[in-house]
Each structure stands twice: as structure tokens, then as C-alpha cells.
Structure 1
Amino acid sequence: MALETSQIGVWEHHLNEQEVLWDLQMHKLYQTGRTNRKVSSSVWLNALHPDDVGRAIAEFDGAIAEKGFYNSQFRIILPSGEVRYLRSRAHFYEGPDGQPSFIGAEWDVTADVLLNRELTNQKAVAEARAIALEQSRARIEHAADHDYLTGLPNRRYFDRRLAELRADAAVKTLAVLHIDLDCFKQINDKWGHAAGDVTLQNAAVRISGAIAADDMVARVGGDEFVVVLVNIDTADELRTIAEDILWRLRRDIRFGHDMLQVGASIGAAWSAADGAGNLLAESDVALYQAKKLGRNRVEFFTPKLQSDLQAERQLADELRLALIRQEIVPFYQIQVDARSRRIVGLEALARWWHPEKGLLAPTAFLKVAEEYGLTAEVDAAILNRVLFDRATWALQGLTPPRIAVNISGSRLADPALIERLQALNIPRHAIAFELIETIFLDDPDDNVLANIDAIKKMGIEIEIDDFGSGHASLIGLVKLKPKRLKIDRQLVTAITVSDEQRRLVGSIVEIARALSVEVIAEGVETEDHARLLARAGCDGLQGYAIGYPSSVNEIAVLLTSVQRPDLHRASDNSQGNGGPTGFAGWRSAHS
């Protein structure tokens, strides 16, 4: 009864006979539909799954050979075609007559097998998921520590590695090279971001090829790389490595059918490992100096560079505040007709009323303004103040002459420039914009040319400043069509002693006349200069022999003396032999 309840079948096999004794439960397990006690052994063999026949027979034969315990698990195919798993166990014995026999039991373990299979599958799935999670975690960690484009370590990894090296007793010295690719923006702009990506990938490979296995290179910005070098013995060794990297990066990069040209600026810093906490910042200071000195070079950090940079940054901060406080003001230098010596214009020159240092000339701050991107703001501040001063003079009953105001290339390229200028309601022909010669080349920027054309339509004249000091071409001059150009003071200075310089100035005047462009000579420091320049055909003169840069009030006094002598009579003789109107050589109280 217990066996029936447990659904365990019992069998007995006398090995010398071809028949097996089965109980009723065995018939139920095999679904024979029979109840007879004796069953042919072929019933068992025929029921075995074809894939399990060989193993099942081998296991039974093994038990016979050993006359021991038989233990097997196999599949059978029921008459309905269903596959079931059975487990069979038996013991060898010999009967009273010495006949070898096995008596055993079988039961259905299909549910157990399927459950174990499912558990195994689930375990395999769980293990696969664990492996996938570990791989995903590793990928995430790698992505968090590496640049996706070049595969190099990023700033996060670099900082951690630098800290590890500083703590390593085997590391005696550390050096950092801060590398910035030159002309990278131009490559992106001209050939697109795909070319930029190729450039960065090539740079990564070339830098990596220049350093030892213990060293490391990381990409820390758009076109910035940082190299950390271990146990560098001398500054010469560091320079050799930096120069090698520089040489490698100068080589052209193939992009399709084009060859991309790129260079690099490198800042280097070096110290004992225990004092290397500021190496990255120090190398950045040196990099700034390398770019400042013309790029495509290596510069080493020094304490003086640090102090100079701090002073520049402080000055830049003060300049930003000065723009808010309206401390940037124009001083005006007069321009006169070369023949009549009458005032025909003014040039507005930037000055800074510094609250502590007093009046600062442009040499004290314009370079910093350019380096820190404040030139356009300075230009705008001067223009706004010029328009205010001009309106003030008009309210005083004076007729302000044309006023020339400098405009930087960055401001001239501003897409919003014209809208801003229109909002100022600038009177027509009241203002001229001076462009330095280097703004226009053989191929001026289309946006710049469009802005210049719009400026002209507003009645603002265009002048070229410092003509002859750079590399502007006649083609650029024709494209720009300025109202006038100003001959650079370097060409003017020597005309009193050099026939060659006089001929050169004369040639510039002839070219300008051919293009219907007026000519103003800068740097007129003596009466001899003025006379020779007038003879050469210059239309206007400007310089210390004509007048010094002066404040708004001083210019008001000068204009009053010229335009309204009844209100302000000034003796021409008291000003020296200054020409027909007596203002040539006008000196400012601040000059």
C-alpha cells in the first residue's frame, strides 16, 4: 500500500532469463495498459529514449559485472509520445539456487528534473546577468575615467593618478606637460567636426608614442592634453621630451584627400614629487605664456610667470569693474587739413581714470583687454561716451568735427553689431570707424564684409588705421572701399631723412587717390613732417606737432577758440608758431 501511494514501481530481473517481474505500478509508470507479472525485457528496452539506450544498458551491465548496486536515470517515451524521466535503483543478489538477480524500484522524477533544469537555467541566467552587470560596471567605470573619442584617461583619472604618483615612495620627481593644439578651431570650421575628431585621435597616438610606459597622457579638454612624466632628472630631459612631442604634432594629418596642418603650444612644470600639488596649474600658466608668445613653442613655468599672470588677471578684473563704473573715457587728438591746417576730425583714444593709479594710457590695459576678451566692451564704452561728448558740445553751440573711433575685429564680426549701432541713433557722417590693417586680408570674412557694408549705409565712415604696418593687400583694400586710410607712424617718422621713405609714402598716396581714398598721416611730430606730408599729397595730418590727446573739456575749449573766437579769444602767438588758426601743437594738460 505504501509503495502504491508513493507511486514507486518494483521490478525483479533474473539475469539468466529474458523476462522481468513487474508490479502493477511499473505498468502504470510505463503506461503499458497491462497487469501481467512477467514482462519481456524488450518492453523496457523499447521504451527507452534512443539517446539514453546506450548509457542505460552500459550502466546496467556495469552493475552486473560488479555484482553491486545499480543506480541509473533515463528517459522513456510513453505510448502517447510523452517523454518522462525515471530513476531506477536495484541491488544484486543470488537466489537459493545461486541464480544472479537484481531487485529494484523505479519512480518518476520528471518534475524534479524539470525543476532542477529550471533552477540551473535560472542560475545560468543569474550568472550571465552578474557577468553582464560586472562588464557594464567596468564599462561605466572606464567611461567615467576615459575620453570616449581618443580612449585616453580624462581629467578625473589624471587627478587620481597624479595623487597616487605623489604618494609613491619610488617616485622622486614629477613633471607635467600641458598641451594645447594650435589651429584646431580652424580645422573644425573649415573641414568639419569629423576632421577635428581625426586630428584629436592622431594627436593622442602621437603624444602617447613620445612617452614611456610609466608616464601617462590624458585628454582634459576640447583640444587640450596633459602628460605626467615620472622621475625626470633634468630640465633638459623634460625639454627634449616636450620638443619631441611638438615635432610629432607638427606633422601633417591625412584626412581623405586633404592634409591637415596642426601645431601645439606646450607649458611645462617640474618639481619633486612631494611638492607636485600645483603642477597642473603651473603648467597651465606656462601654456598661457607659450600661446601669448606666438604659439608653436614650449615654455617652462617660473614664479615670475605666476606673479605676472596674477597681476594681469587682477588688472582684467579691475578693467571689468571700470567698464561698469564708466571709468573708460575717450581722449581726443585733433586731425587737420594738410594745407589749411583747419580741424577736420578727431580721433577718440581710450584712457582709464583708475581710482588709485590715475589716468592710464591704452598701453597699460588694451593688451589685457584683448587677451581677456574685453576689447569689444572697451570699444562700445568709448563709442557711447563719444556720442555723449558730441551731444554735449552741440548743446554748447559747437559744431563737432568727424570723430574716429576704433573698432576691434571681434566686435566687427559680431552678428548683433548692426542692431546695437542702430539703437544708438548715430548721426550720419558724425562717426568714423577705424579698423586696424590686419582685420582685412585677401579673403575677408563674409560676416565682417556684410557688417562693414551695413555700417556704411548708416552713414558711418570706414578708415584703415596703421596702413603699411602689416600685410594688407590691394585686393582687400578694393573689397573694403574705405573712406580714408591712415599711414602708419613708422613710415612717417623717417621721411625727413630718407628719400626712400618719402617715395614710399608718395606711392601710398597715389594708390589711395586711384581708389578715391583720402589719406591721413599719423605720427606728425615736427613742422618738417607736416610740410613734407602735405607736399606728398596727404589730405590730413595727425600727431604731436598738431595736437596732443586731450580731455573732453579741453577739446571744448579748443573748438570754442576756433569756432567762436568772440567767446574765447586766445592769442595765436601764445601758442607758438602753430599755423593759420593757432592751434597746431595744442597741448593737453594731461599730455
Structure 2
Amino acid sequence: MPSNVLSRLLDSGPGDEIGVLETVFQAAPFPIAIVDHAAALLFANGTFRREWMGDSRQPTALSAILHPGDQDSFHQTIQGLTLDSPAERLELRVMDPNGSQRWVLATFAPLGKNLKGQLLSAVHLTDITDQRRQVEELIERESRWDNALVSSVSGVWDHNYATGQKYYSPVWRQIRGMSPEDPLAASTKEWLELVHPDDHDHVIHAIERQNAGDPAYAVFDYRERHKQGHWIWIECRGACVEWDANGKATRVVGTDTDITARKAAEETTAQMSRRLDMALEISGIGVYESDFSTGEVEWDERMFRIYGLAKSEEVKIGGLWENFLHPDDAARVQANVLANIEEGKRFSDEYRVILRDGSERVVRTRTMSFVDGNGHQKMVGANWDVTADVTLHRELERAKTLAEARNRELEAARSSIEHNAMHDYLTDLPNRRYLDEMLDRVAAECARDRHGIAILHIDLDRFKQINDTLGHSAGDMMLKHAAKVLKGTIRKGDFVARIGGDEFVILSKFEGSPRKLSHLADRIIKELRKPVSYEGHDCRFGASIGIACHTGVEVDARQLLLNADIALYRAKNRGRNRHEFFSADTQNEIISTKRISDEILLALERDEFIPYYQLQFDAATLEISGVETLARWMHPERGMLSPDKFLEMAEELDVVSVIDGTILDKALADFRDWRSNGLSIPKLSVNVSYRRLHDASLSRKLKKLKIEPGTVSFELLESIFLDDCDDDILKNLARIKKLGIDIEIDDFGTGHASIISLLRLNPRALKIDRELVRLVSQSQKQRKMVGSIIEIGKSLNIEVVAEGVETTEQIRILRDLGCDVLQGYALARPMPRSSIPDFILSGRWRTGESTQPDGRKRHATDN
């Protein structure tokens, strides 16, 4: 109704007002009523009365037909309306005349004020009972499923590929240890990083098949990393619920369930089953179960095996098994079963059975009876074949009889066994066990008789070469010969033993005269150096001897043996075929060597090995052409040490390769830093040890360093490359060159490498040994030799580097001879990484400043 017409109606008297409104609203096809500000019902059209009031009710207020619980909200809405208010909507419950309840959507629209100033409103009620019931049922169903999923600890996921929306329930997150605020994986690829590597392919394939509607993949399981880092097992159930016009899945919904505990239980059960089956299989025990109520019997595979039957044979109580019983044992065994079944006891038995092939076996059994849940009387038990045990027992009984009869023979053999236990089988000399007993015995005699002990520890020299070249038979003969010599040389009362390999020990009384011991040692060495004929070969070997002696009451014979071993170590290091007495200096030398060894190993742990660098220069222009890396030990107490102070010991410890690798890593880092800061150093050369070249994984390790081809050279000593250089080294060098790392020969000219070796190796450069360079300005012969090396290099297209260049005269001569690169104190000394930039920027080598002595001794490894 237009607002200006309504105003005229409301401005007239109350009776006229209601009459006009009745005419307008009565014609409306929907239920409508008019109420005032107090909710008094002023008017209701026919439709309203039929639907909501019926014939029996004539309420004066609209709230009278409302549910008591909705009346307050109804009044608040009416009273809150103003003339300018928009239409208000409110869901209310209306009570039918028959007492039933219906839901309505009430629409309130202000009409205007009457003469009394009261606001009149139109009310329209729409029945929404069905919609409300459907919503409530939907909410109830959703709540029921949600509660069921929560109680089953299943997380819901919903992938809508059409809209790009994905939903994951709180339980889905809870399974993975995620909080509601934790971000989800941004993509499938990122999520797959959380899937166990072994399950990647399976998960990708399963998801594809699940999306395709394959029922075989409606459920699959996999492992996923929990937020706390451990793996959990997920059982994924999913199905496509929406498809596009081409039949492609556009929405897939499913659940994830944590089945980690179930998987663990399954694995535990499987493990127990495997263990039980393995135990039964190893022991050969067969298991059976008999039902006395039905007469049925179940045998496992091992039971059939024990009785030599096929698994298809039918087993019944009173049938198959009873027929196998030995006639002499059958009555006793069956009576025993019945008696124990009735008493419900566990029992054991042993009896004989006769198999179908006629063989007789002995079976041992362990049995128990019980009543199952169905009230059936049952018996379960285990059988195992003890024929071998019984036979063995009989044999042992016979053997015991024989053993007693042969007791006298064994007693006679005892002394022979004792002799063999205390003597070396090859030389028949006393062995180490016998020596240990003698040491204790002689030490006790010394304490009692106040005489001394002398121990000579003898090791055969060159024995290994004879053994390796002529065979073990020749080696055995040499050992027998050595034993014969020792027994024929020692004094009366002395004790000689072979303690292992080619080592012997002489234990002698010491009367205070080391000269006699020295004469004895010399006599032994002289006799052992005489040639021994073996199958037409004159075999020669020698001996190194360490001597330790002591006089006094408190003699530690075992320490004395250790001292003799230390003296032997010194004799072998001083040239072999000699003897040495143990002394405090010898022990201190060993201790010092041990200390240095420990310090080297500790230095590797502390990262004390660092690179020093010596620049190399183009002989023609004196431009920097490269830098050589030199190893230094930054000792915490002795300061900076060069390789001559630690290299020999490092080789004995077999850690030179480790030091090489450490120096290379640091040098590469420094080299890259210089070049990134604009320092023009074309290449870096690094020393590599002979042992490292045997490392089969060397090329793989170098590849990880990502060395730029042509920027790094490995310097190798010429002595490594004899003409018979082994294939492993050559293969490693070939792999190294493929990585773009050049090869240089260091200390060339010492006489090891031939031209053929150079051609086979094809190095990028060779370095003339400093001893040859040192005399080029003084010796014409030396100058010619250096010139020849340079010519060889040029003819083979190999760059020639002169190291140890210390004077400007040597620079001039080497340049005139055509040398390519110069390195030495005349141009630059070895320096730490931090000094390289200032030195290069200063250009001091051009003014000759670098030739000035710096007060330091030049190391053998410096150029």
C-alpha cells in the first residue's frame, strides 16, 4: 500500500481506519494481520484466520497463539519497530488449536500511526516447519557422523578440484600432531616430502587410482612423518563424489585413520609367529590338537613330516596315529593318554612308532588337556623325533665303555699333547705360552738367587721376500734353519722360543756383562746371514736383535720383554742386521714418536693443518701465473711446522690422505675468495699423496667439490711415476683429468720418470727439482741438463716450472733457457692466505724486495 494512501487512512477515525484496512488486506491471497505497538490483534484476514486461528480461537493478542518461549522475542521485535524501521523477520513457534507446534517465519512491516499515536504493523506468517525439520535432521545427521568420526579417531578430508578448495577436519590435523594454526603443505609435491620415501610411488599411484574410482584403491595405507619427527601409519579411505562431463573426478572425499598401533601390533604378532614357527622348525617339533567330542584331529606340517605322511592324509581319533604305535608300546601309551585326559593333567611320554617304510623311530611327546568354550574335551600337544638323541645316548654309553678301556692310551698321549701345547709345531721350539711360563719362573729365580735376566728379541730380515717369492715351503725351511742356528748358538742354560711368524726370543741369565750379550748377538747375526740352499736357490736373510737386561731383586720380566721389543724396533730403524741395547734414550725416542703420533691425530680433530701459498710467475713477463699450496701445521706450542716435521709420522699413521683433503678444501675456499675479490690468480696447484691416488672414491669426492675445469692442478712426486706405476693409479688419474683437474710432475729430474712415462701420463706441467736449479748459475753442466729438460717439455707440449729460484741471476738464466714458469724465494716466499692480496697489489717481486731474507729458515718443502 503506498505510504500517502496509508496516511489518509490512518488520519481518519479509528473505525474508518480499520474498515479501510480490512478491505485492502482481506483481498490479499496470503495470511496477514495488523497489530498495534502492544501486540494487540487489530485485524486478521480470512487466510490468516484459517491457517493460524481456526474457528474456535479468537485471540485479542497475536502473542496468544505463540509458544511461551518465543513471546518475549516477539514483543521485543514489535516494540523495537519505528515508523522508519525496515521490515523485520523472526522465526517463531505457533501453537495450533489442536496443540501441535509449527515453525513460522514472521515478517513485521510498520504501516503508520493511528489517531492515538500508536504504531500499527502488518504481520505475515510463512510456514517453515518442513524446512526447519529438514535442517534439524541434517544437523542431527551431521552431528551423528561427526561424533562417530571423532570417536573413531578418523580425520575427514574433502578435495574439491573444481573450486580448488580443500578441507581437513581437526581430527585430521590431530593425527599428524598439527594444531589448527599450523599451515598445510602448499602443494601435493610439498606434502609428498612428508611421505616415507619407500611409499612415494605407491601413494602417487594409489591416489590416481582412487580418483579414477578403482575399488581396489578405495583404501590404502602409507607412512607419513608426524610433526614431532617420527613416522605414523595412515589408512586412507576415499571415493569420488562428483565428476565433470568427461567423467573426470572433480571432488573426492574421504577419511584418514592413524593405524600406527595396529601396524605395530600386526608386526609384533607376525614377529611372534615367525619366531614360533622358526623355533618349531629348528627343533623339528610337530603340534597337534584332538577333539574328543567330535573325533577330529588337526596336525601341522611337521607332524606329517615326523610320521612320513602326505598332508592330504585324514587324521581321526582311534585311526591313523594309533596304527603307527609300536606293538610293544601301544597299550601303555593309549592307557597313559586316557588316564591323564580324565584327570586333566599335563604329561610327557616317549614311545616307538613304525613308519610305512618299515623304519622304526622314537617319538617324545608333551601333552595337555582342556575344555574349550563349546564344552568340547580337547587335547593339544607336541611331538618330536628323538631317534637321533636316543641313538646318540646309546652310542655315548658304548663310547664311555670304550673310553674307559682306552684310558691308559689317553694317559700316555697326555704328555705328547702338553708338549704340543707348549711348543711350536714347525721348529719344535718352545712357543709364546711356554715363554710366558719361563718368564715368571726366571723372575722368581732372580728374586731368590739375586742374578739378572737378559732377553734377546730376534726378528728375521728379508724373510718375507723369501716367503713371497719362493713360497711357504721355502719360508718354513728358513724358519727351521733359524731355529737350528739359535739352538746351536745359545749358551748352556739359555732358553729359546719362537713367539710367532719370524720372531724368536732368547731368555738368558745375565751376569752383569753386556759385552757377552753383544758377542752372542753378533754371532747369531753372522750365522743367520750365511746363505741357505733351497731347490737350487741360495737364500740369504739376516736378523735384527733387540737386547734388554736387568739385575736386581725386583725384576719385571714381562716389562723386560717389552724393552727388548723397543730395542728391536730401533735396530730395524737403524738399518737392520744389527743389534741394539735398550736404554732410557731408546724408550724416550719411542715415547716421543708416540707423542707426535697422538698430536697429529689430535691436530686433525682440532683442524690445525692449514695451507700456505707460494706464488708462481711467468718467466717472460713476471706476471702471476698461479699459486702452489703448501701444508703447514699450526702447532699450539711449537708454532708453525713444515711437512719435514710431521710428514714421515703422518705416513706411518696413514693420515696423509686426510691432511691432503683438508688442505685442498681450505685452498679451494681461499682461491675462490681471492678471485671473487678481483685478484688475478689463474690457477691453484695442490700436492696429492701416493696413497690418496689409490682411493677408489677419490674422483667421486672431487666431483662434489665442483672445481672449475682448468683452475686446479695436482702436483705429484716424480717418484710415484715409475714405468711400472700400477693400473689403479692410472685409472684414478684419468678420472681426475676428466674433471678438468690438471696433473703436474713435482721434483722432476731425480731420475725416476722416463719419456715413456711422461707420454703415458701426459701431464700439463713438470717442475724441475730445486737441486738442479740451484747450480744453474755456477755449473755449465747443470745448465745444460736443465736446458735439456726444458727442451723435452717443449717437445711434448708440457709446461716447465723451475722451483727453488733464489737469485736474479737464476731468473735470467732460466728465462734464456726457455723455462715457462718460475717459483722461489727470489720472487715470493710461502705466506698465509691473508698476506696474498697485499703482496699481489704491492708488486714487490718486480722491485726485488722479495729476495731479501726474512730471518726464517727455508723448509725443504718450500720453493
TM-score, length-scaled by structure 2? 0.48
- Amino acid of the residue matched to residue 404 of structure 1? S
1:175 pairs with 2:454: yes
- Amino acid of the residue matched to residue 179 of structure 1? I
1:128 pairs with 2:406: yes
CA deviation profile, 1:453-474 (whole Å, cap 9, x unmatched): 3333333332222233465555
CA deviation profile, 1:110-133 (whole Å, cap 9, x unmatched): xxxxxxxxxxx9888525235426
- Mark the CA change 1:395 to 1:577 in structure 2 (over 3 Å): closer, same or farther: closer
Does the CA contact (< 8 Å) of 1:289 and 1:299 recur in 2? yes
Q: Map 1:248-263; keep pairs closer than 5 Å.
A: 248-252=527-531, 256=535, 262-263=541-542
From 800, 803, 818, the equivalent of 1:522 is 803
1:438 pairs with 2:716: no
Structure 1 counterpart SS, 2:775: helix
- Mark the CA change 1:166 to 1:405 in structure 2 (over 3 Å): closer, same or farther: same
Q: Map 1:105-116; keep pairs closer than 5 Å.
A: none
Name the counterpart of 2:523: 244
Name the counterpart of 1:316: 597
The Cα of 1:253 is off from its aligned counterpart by: 5.2
RMSD of Structure 2 on Structure 1 (CA): 3.5
Q: Which range moved further: 485-494 or 308-317?
A: 485-494
- Mark the CA change 1:221 to 1:585 in structure 2 (over 3 Å): closer, same or farther: farther
Does the CA contact (< 8 Å) of 1:332 and 1:349 recur in 2? yes
- Amino acid of the residue matched to residue 749 of structure 2? G
The Cα of 1:391 is off from its aligned counterpart by: 3.2
- Amino acid of the residue matched to residue 464 of structure 1? I
TM-score, length-scaled by structure 1? 0.68
Does the CA contact (< 8 Å) of 1:486 and 1:520 recur in 2? yes
Name the counterpart of 1:210: 489
Name the counterpart of 1:381: 662
Does the CA contact (< 8 Å) of 1:550 and 1:590 recur in 2? no
- Amino acid of the residue matched to residue 377 of structure 1? V
From 166, 169, 192, the equivalent of 2:443 is 166
CA deviation profile, 1:176-230 (whole Å, cap 9, x unmatched): 2333344455555555555554554444444444323432333334443333333
* More RCO (CA 8 Å, sep 6+): 1
1:270 pairs with 2:549: yes
- Amino acid of the residue matched to residue 161 of structure 1? M
From 421, 427, 430, the equivalent of 2:708 is 427
Give the Cα–Cα distance (whole angstroms) in 2 for the partners of residues 142 and 425 of structure 1: 65
Structure 2 counterpart SS, 1:168: helix
The Cα of 1:543 is off from its aligned counterpart by: 1.3
Name the counterpart of 1:219: 498
The sequence identity of aligned pairs, in percent, is 43
The Cα of 1:251 is off from its aligned counterpart by: 4.4
1:349 pairs with 2:635: no
Structure 1 counterpart SS, 2:628: strand
Structure 2 counterpart SS, 1:220: strand
The Cα of 1:322 is off from its aligned counterpart by: 0.8
Does the CA contact (< 8 Å) of 2:766 and 2:800 recur in 1? yes
Q: Map 1:177-576; keep pairs closer than 5 Å.
A: 177-187=456-466, 190=469, 196-231=475-510, 234-252=513-531, 256=535, 262-272=541-551, 274=553, 275=555, 277=557, 278-398=559-679, 400-469=681-750, 471-474=752-755, 476-559=757-840, 561=841, 570=842, 572=843, 575=844
- Mark the CA change 1:358 to 1:503 in structure 2 (over 3 Å): closer, same or farther: same
CA deviation profile, 1:279-318 (whole Å, cap 9, x unmatched): 2222222222233334343333221121122122111101
Give the Cα–Cα distance (whole angstroms) in 1 for the partners of residues 831 and 792 of structure 2: 33
Name the counterpart of 1:578: 847
Give the Cα–Cα distance (whole angstroms) in 2 for the partners of residues 171 and 509 of structure 1: 73
The Cα of 1:272 is off from its aligned counterpart by: 2.3
- Mark the CA change 1:297 to 1:519 in structure 2 (over 3 Å): closer, same or farther: farther
CA deviation profile, 1:18-58 (whole Å, cap 9, x unmatched): xxxxxxxxxxxxxxxxxxxxxxxxxxxxxxxxxxxxxxxxx
Name the counterpart of 1:155: 432
The Cα of 1:550 is off from its aligned counterpart by: 1.0
The Cα of 1:420 is off from its aligned counterpart by: 3.6
CA deviation profile, 1:399-431 (whole Å, cap 9, x unmatched): 543322222223223444444434444333333
Does the CA contact (< 8 Å) of 1:549 and 1:588 recur in 2? no
Does the CA contact (< 8 Å) of 2:688 and 2:714 recur in 1? yes
Give the Cα–Cα distance (whole angstroms) in 1 for the partners of residues 487 and 763 of structure 2: 51
The Cα of 1:440 is off from its aligned counterpart by: 3.0
Structure 2 counterpart SS, 1:432: strand
Give the Cα–Cα distance (whole angstroms) in 2 for the partners of residues 326 and 430 of structure 1: 25
- Amino acid of the residue matched to residue 443 of structure 2? R
Give the Cα–Cα distance (whole angstroms) in 2 for the partners of residues 550 and 267 of structure 1: 45
The Cα of 1:488 is off from its aligned counterpart by: 2.0
Q: How many residues align?
A: 456
Give the Cα–Cα distance (whole angstroms) in 1 for the partners of residues 436 and 623 of structure 2: 67
Q: Which range moved further: 310-319 or 257-266?
A: 257-266
- Amino acid of the residue matched to residue 668 of structure 2? L
Structure 2 counterpart SS, 1:512: helix
CA deviation profile, 1:114-170 (whole Å, cap 9, x unmatched): xxxxxxx9888525235426635752x445434444443333322321232222246
Does the CA contact (< 8 Å) of 2:547 and 2:579 recur in 1? yes
Name the counterpart of 1:11: none
Give the Cα–Cα distance (whole angstroms) in 2 for the partners of residues 429 and 137 of structure 1: 75
Does the CA contact (< 8 Å) of 1:165 and 1:273 recur in 2? no
Q: Which range moved further: 414-423 or 515-524?
A: 414-423
- Amino acid of the residue matched to residue 230 of structure 1? K
- Amino acid of the residue matched to residue 132 of structure 1? L
- Amino acid of the residue matched to residue 406 of structure 2? A
- Mark the CA change 1:381 to 1:244 in structure 2 (over 3 Å): closer, same or farther: farther
Does the CA contact (< 8 Å) of 2:626 and 2:683 recur in 1? yes
The Cα of 1:344 is off from its aligned counterpart by: 1.8
Give the Cα–Cα distance (whole angstroms) in 1 for the partners of residues 856 and 623 of structure 2: 22
- Mark the CA change 1:122 to 1:368 in structure 2 (over 3 Å): closer, same or farther: closer
Give the Cα–Cα distance (whole angstroms) in 1 for the partners of residues 847 and 523 of structure 2: 62
